[in-house]
Structure 1
Amino acid sequence: MGKKLSGKDLIKLGFPKNNSINVTLGQINRYQKRVKKEKILIEAKKVLLNPEAYKGDGVWGKIAESLLDPVNVTKQKLNTHRAPFQIYGENEIDDQAKYQLFDALKLPISVAGALMPDAHVGYGLPIGGVLATKNAVIPYGVGVDIGCRMCLTIYPVKVSYLKGKKHQLENILLEHTKFGMYETHKIKHDDPIFERDEFKTIPLVKRLKDKAYKQLGTSGGGNHFVEFGVISILDINNEWDLPLGDYLGVLSHSGSRGLGANIAKRYTYLATKQCPLPKHVQHLAWLDLNTHDGQEYWLAMNLAGDYARACHDNIHKRISKLLGEKPIVKIDNHHNFAWKQEVNGEECIVHRKGATPAKKGELGIIPGSMTAPGFIVRGLGNTKSLQSASHGAGRVLSRRQCKTTLTQSAIKKELQNHDVSLIGGGIDEAPMAYKNIETVMKNQQELVEVIGKFTPKIVRMDR
């Protein structure tokens, strides 16, 4: 008997001569490389004799599925008609983003869709795209940065503090927030998230635990930020009974770091193998939620979303401690996520790729740019938008266009005009790269109502 497990070994064991052999070899090669062949064969025999007992197991569950109810891989075709959809702020959205949504609406699993007024081109779904599907999840409909989210804390501190303590606040952001692929905190904080079963039972996630622990409380590159600014409460009937007026606020934007990126990469690959689509829409490959991989992705995605929340909690706790103040209000919300939600009387999976949940009474934050205000909003529960709103202002210039058309001196002038202090931030995140947030908000008045405003004053981004 050779040292490496082969298909012949599995056939000798009694495996049927079908795709279960390829599935078994793939799983063993990925997750059991260092396990002795004899031990693998003993376990494989147990699975063969009683596959029901192994359903849901991280390593053997997929093999059990291939024996009990093999995933049927068939080449998928797009429908000739689109599922119902609604576009908000259509005149402000480029055609390519619309065409991306139109392709997604032709998927055989699509039930309904919407495009938010901040929409622009992305991979798979456009950024600002919302798509409801039937019992299926599209990893690239969620996005690479799973559970990317906003978090805002409001402090009972006069805004004069921003000018009087400007250097101290800049130092807090410079020394105590970490950005990009390699920066991590010297003093690590623990979090209950690391006790979750998914870190023990899903092999891919188990491998990523150390990385996730190191990156806790850090932010990514690109458009991720932590900012000090002025909170203006505008609605007398706000949920916290705060008097109208101005307060000190901290706003952060980031996601699930390397954990989410690796989950997205792996399950997108599995989706493309199980759901072959025409080449131009291959990024829209989906996982059936009744399959092992679909269920596993759903668990991993929710873990990544909760991890993103833990990162924001960590960031805000550190800053609160340094300020010596307790926040009086905290608001946060995901984008880049999928939710189970009723659509037209049936449970669907609603993907929000760069879109904010906005069911009736739900609170959220819609940021502008480093010089434009963001908004605290309350959802109106509009069913045509699938109870969604924009996740920001949305880009009007691509990163490449920024680098070829904008200058550092123009950015500096824009920051000075708005009295904004910037730490880090590349030219591709210039304020001019973004749509006019006021126009975006006008185009979604039937989706959300404004409770307050956040005006950035000290901004920290990746260098």
Structure 2
Amino acid sequence: MSKLKLRGKDIRALGYPEGPVISIAMNIMEKEYKFEKEEVVMNLLRAILASPVEYANDAVLGLIAQQLLPNQDPEGADVSLNQTGVAFSIFGGQNIEQGAMNQMYQAAKLPVAVAGALMPDAHSGYGLPIGGVLATENAVIPYGVGVDIGCRMCLSVFDIDPKELIQKEAYFTRELQAATLFGGGRQFEKTASHEVLDRPEFDEIAILKSLQGRAARQLGSSGSGNHFVEWGIVEIGEADPVLGLAPGNYLGLLSHSGSRALGASIANHYTRIAKEKRVLPGEARNLAWLTLDEAEGIEYWLAMNLAGDYASACHDIIHAKISAQLGRKAVGRVENHHNFAWKEMVDGRECIVHRKGATPAGKDVLGVIPGSMTAPGYIVKGRGEAASLASAAHGAGRKMSRTAAINSITHALLKETLGKHGVKLLGGGLDEAPQAYKNIGEVMQSQQELVDIVGRFTPKIVRMDG
């Protein structure tokens, strides 16, 4: 069997930045995975790039992941944590790993913290845990928002008999393949037109000037990791005045992706600045913040909102392409961010509410909470519950790291699971297998006081990276 041989330009094409990480990745993969297929290795490198924090402690791959994380040793003013943290609510705590709990306890001790909540799909992240919600006073935490700023769900509902997914499977498969690009470094040769590219922030904020070209070439793409575009069956049991759809079964198009390289570059740039200005102890250093009365904080806030609008535009383009091919307009649409920060009132004062991997669930606010490639997702309506800071879970949540999933789940098991649920998978990998995720039913059970279920989405044709 021939040994693995990688090229630097192929790793750069995945989206890896110029620097030592290229040669480090080549050396480690050629040594530790020398008899593995190149396709498998490149998919693993994509996964590391998409979520370096999940590989940071891996004995082998952590050496690559650490190169992709912000500088851990800045110089700046030391900031101490409070001895006791603000109170925060925990939902579904029996299924939340201790690492995520510890990260939330640290966040609650920040001097700027006002209130918090932990969602039932929570798991460890980088800084604030995934599924963590934190309200702060006049402060925004870049890693409280997350690297994939504006990561978003978007569901278009068509008045088409979902049986057509079986009758015309080849047609619907082709449309998923044609509508978007997947992969960390993928870019279109021909750029799409959208007003978001004409935003003045691209000229007014220095870092954004260098990112505009790539943002244009990635507009309408979907990224890697757990991002997807899929066809499925939308079931509406009872009419809801907010959703506005009659009871019945519909054809649904559901997409999940964020702000691509634009958001990641913004997150890492302003995290470095925050960590230079405010040095926190130990692992809490990843919770460094910027205030909204200093130039850098104002810049980040503007750039974050631009990235969120850019993520929304990516979904708009994907859904518009497919709608045009169908020759039908959607009869309903539900969408929401789940990596973002908002100015909201908390206990009578304006705060910055960070939802990292959490769905906005204000009173009568609609959202989509997906399951996995075989588990159903849910259209929900928020109850505006104060204890959760008007938030809910953003999905089933991982119960297994990507490395653990790759090492313990077989292709045969994935194929068997897909067949059992009648799901056709385009791309995807073992790190995204259904077994890597928590039970979405238990997650929804744990947040009955946070949202009402007004519809259900069952995946049938799923496209992911790989």
Above 0.5 in TM-score?
A: yes
Paired residue for 1:91?
94
Superposed displacement of residue 241, structure 1: 3.7
Superposed displacement of residue 271, structure 1: 0.2
Describe how 1:24-423 pairs up with structure 2 within 5 A: 74-423=77-426
Measured in 1, the distance between the counterparts of 2:321 and 2:190 equals: 11
Superposed displacement of residue 84, structure 1: 1.4
Superposed displacement of residue 155, structure 1: 0.3
Q: Alignment identity in percent? A: 55
Paired residue for 1:56?
none
Measured in 1, the distance between the counterparts of 2:224 and 2:243 equals: 33
1:61-111, Cα deviation, whole Å (9 max, x unpaired) = xxxxxxxxxxx9531000000101000001010111001000000000000
CA contact (8 A) 2:190 2:217 kept: no
Structure 1 stretches of 5 or more lacking a match? 1-71
CA contact (8 A) 1:333 1:356 kept: yes
Measured in 1, the distance between the counterparts of 2:360 and 2:224 equals: 24
Superposed displacement of residue 236, structure 1: 1.8
Instruction: Report the AA paired with residue 217 of structure 1.
Output: G
Work out the number of aligned pairs and report it: 392
Measured in 2, the distance between the counterparts of 1:276 and 1:102 equals: 18
Structure 2 stretches of 5 or more lacking a match? 1-74
Measured in 2, the distance between the counterparts of 1:241 and 1:260 equals: 33
Instruction: Report the AA paired with residue 125 of structure 2.
Output: G
1:399-425, Cα deviation, whole Å (9 max, x unpaired) = 011011110000000000000000000
Paired residue for 1:461?
464
TM-score, normalised to structure 2, is 0.83
The worse-fitting range, judged by mean Cα deviation, of 188-197 and 377-386 is 188-197
Superposed displacement of residue 340, structure 1: 0.3
Instruction: Report the AA paired with residue 296 of structure 1.
Output: E
CA contact (8 A) 2:181 2:221 kept: yes
CA contact (8 A) 1:238 1:451 kept: no
Instruction: Report the AA paired with residue 320 of structure 2.
Output: K
1:378-418, Cα deviation, whole Å (9 max, x unpaired) = 00000010000000000011101101111000000000000
CA contact (8 A) 1:139 1:267 kept: yes
Superposed displacement of residue 267, structure 1: 0.1
Superposed displacement of residue 324, structure 1: 1.5
Paired residue secondary structure (1:456): strand
Superposed displacement of residue 322, structure 1: 1.4
Name the CA shift for 1:369/1:238 in 2 (closer, same or farther; >3 Å): farther
Measured in 2, the distance between the counterparts of 1:186 and 1:278 equals: 45
Instruction: Report the AA paired with residue 379 of structure 2.
Output: I
TM-score, normalised to structure 1, is 0.83
Instruction: Report the AA paired with residue 111 of structure 2.
Output: P
CA contact (8 A) 2:78 2:278 kept: yes
Measured in 1, the distance between the counterparts of 2:187 and 2:287 equals: 33
Paired residue secondary structure (2:126): coil
